[in-house]
Chain A
Amino acid sequence: MTSVWDRLERLFDALLGLSASERILLSLAAVVAAIVVGMGIILAAGSMAACSSPKLVVFGVQFCYDPIEVYTVLIGGAFGNSYNVAATLQRTTLLLCTGLSFAIAYKGGLFNIGAQGQFVLGSLATTVVVLALAPLAPTGVAGGALLVSAGVLAGCVVGGLYGLLPGFLKVQYDTNEVITTLLLNFIATAVAFVLVDRYFNDETVQGTATESIPDVATLDPRVFPQGSEFSLPVFVLALVVVGLFFYLLTRTTIGYDIQSVGTQPKAAAFGGVSERFTTLFSMTLAGVIAGLGGAIFILMVLGRWQSGAPSVGFDGIAVSILAGNNPIGLIPAGLLFGALDSGSQAIEFQLDVPGELIGVLQGLIILFVATPELFRMLGSHLDRRGTVDLRNEGADR
């Protein structure tokens, strides 16, 4: 009997390349493992916290947080009403950009830890360009279109240049890109802060922030209610970008070159692929797409640059790793992390459980995803004992 699983597996493999189904299984297992370990952490933290009415009492030990309740509220906070869904999809849109940024570099054998910095500088460039052009632009839809496209272009260009920098240092001076991209994040945050503080600060608001961009340049909510700061067409656009990257990587020469440099650098060099060029190209592209995320963040979400950008750059690394660095896999992975992010606020407000917990959960997911061997060993162990028969169900009968 060919099981549904087998057919699904063949479908996935045809769609995503060999062993994609194994990756999906591993990612699911990693998420489940992280949730289970997360429960332990919630219980442990709950036994340390002080509260007047404990949620659980087991053998005289008081637990202030109930893990089931935390996860229930988390899911409700992510999908409970249309505002929550909008918040989840909004975060997903940004994570798709930064996730792609990591994925494209990773495919070329590089670690781009710098999406955060590219995102921050890209968002600043978008804001500055839109604010500068606003007085010159015609009114109405034409002006809006002009400002939005100029803003997006500025974000992509600046993000791309900031991605090119560590790529250039890598090919020219053999500088380790893990370290440079990481440190460039700290530098980008400080530089953007200083630029705004010195030259673009809006004195009428507290803290360091630019003026708001004009309404014609903002991407208004579509389909979802007003005030949700999420526009469905932008999400669709992000999905199209994901599709384009999938096409680029699997169906074009440059995509093939990038992948061959990433997996078989010696063979690629022998085959005449320029490692220098693919490194520069994939790092620049990584920066462009992270900068696009920054542009979307300004045009759709915030409407101005202000200090304290969300950590979508770092979360994007997690999303990409969870997705096995496959563009298509980014969609479910981005959705999961988007949901975790928007749900974290609900557990903080409704349950008084620190939202930082979500960061731990995300880190655990990466740790488990990085460790496929753990689940393979676990799987074969259970297999031998005959308790679970996961993949050979069809074949054995």
Chain B
Amino acid sequence: MSVLGRTTLKWGLLVVAAIGALFVGQFLAPAGSVTAQVFDALLTTSYASAVLRVSVPIGFAALGGIFAEKSGVINIGIEGFLVLSALSSVVAFHGLAEAGVGTTAALWTAFLAGILVSVAAAAVFAVFVIRYEADQVIAGLAIWLISLGVAPFVSLVLFESVNSPSVETFGTWRIPLLADIPGIGPVLFDASPMVYLLLVATPVSWYVLRHTRLGRRIRASGENPRALDTAGVSVSRTRYVGVLLSGVLCGIGGAGFTLGQLGRFVGAGQTSIDGRGFLGIVAYLFGNYNPITSLGGALLFASFDSLQLRLQQISELDVPSALFGVLPFIVVIVVLTLIGGTRLPAALGQHYDDEE
């Protein structure tokens, strides 16, 4: 069995064991005790729905990161792309709503606008790191810092506050019949269109990377750019494609989070994106650059993020909410420590000059 197959099996078994433990725990815990309350809060369809919803920005950030890194470009700027698309989707929605465009049309157009802005930012980043050979980690950090400044700045200029006013959200799309299946129906088939998009984009990304010519080129560009060059394919162009796809996916993540879930942009502190892009990066490290297992990582972090919200509601648990808020980050560090070093693409972070 391949290494990847074994990893998948290992994590799959772990997840099944965890869910099994939840059921057994709920059965064993005395009714009304804090433990029982925790289990009750977790074994609900609303918790499962929340996990899926919360995993949207993390999952798309992870997919975006995979395409950039597989092509050989370290992309620490993911968080910045999410911030930019989150803000621009809100700005676009406001402009369209004020112009009298209907809600549904405005939502989808604003969603596209968010993606476009993210792609534009990715294009700038790509030119800097590919054409002008900028240090990838530092340039990525710069993209993040610039976005942390630009987004509240633009919000202040347009809305006179770093936080935007509220906007409509996509709501949920109920798929008839399937949504009536007990248990998984309300979770999987009465969800936000952004959740469906993530559940489709993940296998598609896997297929593209694994079985298409583009995917093979992207992987070669990150593993052995010289071979790709020798085969007559431009490494730079392949990397541009990788980074731009990263921009598209991160744009979906940022705009999808804002228009699909939160309904506004918060510019204070770390903005409403609040580290989700970084969680995305850890999700693909966790998933070893495989889109499917990375979605597993995204779901894991999302489950802890939703968990902390629910734990806050159990009054007997006298733990400050701020500590619950960092629970996902602590889990990330523990998980990263446990999985150890990930095998990175061999040419990651290295510049390559095409021999023309």
Genuine A/B complex: yes
Q: Does B152 contact A (CB under 8 A)?
A: yes
Which residues on the B side are within 8 Å of A113 (C-beta)? 141
CB distance from B157 to the nearest CB of A (A): 5
CB distance from A117 to the nearest CB of B (A): 11
Q: Within the complex, which residue of A176, A178, A359, A367 is in contact with B148, where a contact is CB–CB below 8 Å?
A: A359
Q: Is the CB–CB distance between B142 and A367 below 8 Å?
A: yes
Binding site for A on B (CB under 8 A): 76, 128, 132-135, 137-139, 141-150, 152-154, 156-158, 162, 270, 275, 278, 281-282, 285, 320, 322-323, 325-326, 329-330, 332-333, 336-338, 340-341
Instruction: How many A-B residue pairs have C-beta atoms within 8 angstroms? Tell me.
Output: 134
CB distance from A356 to the nearest CB of B (A): 4
Q: Does A377 contact B (CB under 8 A)?
A: yes
Q: Does A36 contact B (CB under 8 A)?
A: no
Bound form: Cα–Cα A187–B270 in Å: 13
Q: Is the CB–CB distance between A366 and B141 below 8 Å?
A: yes
- CB-defined interface of A149-181 with B at 8 Å, one 1/0 digit per residue? 000000000000000000001000111101110
Which residues on the A side are within 8 Å of B275 (C-beta)? 183, 186
Most buried by B among A193, A371, A377: A371
Tell whether A175 pairs with B146 under 8 Å between CB atoms, given A48-B157, A356-B162.
no
Q: Is the CB–CB distance between B323 and A362 below 8 Å?
A: no
From DSSP, what is the main secondary structure of chain B's interface residues? helix
Bound form: Cα–Cα A176–B137 in Å: 13
Q: Is the CB–CB distance between A360 and B132 below 8 Å?
A: no
Tell whether A370 pairs with B337 under 8 Å between CB atoms, given A183-B278, A354-B157.
no
- CB-defined interface of A110-147 with B at 8 Å, one 1/0 digit per residue? 01010000000000000000000000000000000000
Which residues on the B side are within 8 Å of A187 (C-beta)? 326, 329-330
Q: Is the CB–CB distance between A194 and B323 below 8 Å?
A: yes
6 pairs from A and B in contact (CB 8 Å cutoff): A173-B340, A175-B336, A176-B285, A186-B270, A356-B152, A356-B156
CB distance from A139 to the nearest CB of B (A): 37
Chain A minimum-CB-distance residue to B329: A183
Flag the segment in A220-228, A281-289, A291-299, A314-322 that touches B: A314-322
Q: Does A182 contact B (CB under 8 A)?
A: yes
Q: Is the CB–CB distance between B149 and A360 below 8 Å?
A: yes
Q: Is the CB–CB distance between B333 and A180 below 8 Å?
A: yes
Most buried by A among B144, B270, B285, B320: B320
Bound form: Cα–Cα A316–B12 in Å: 42
- CB-defined interface of A352-372 with B at 8 Å, one 1/0 digit per residue? 001011111111101101110
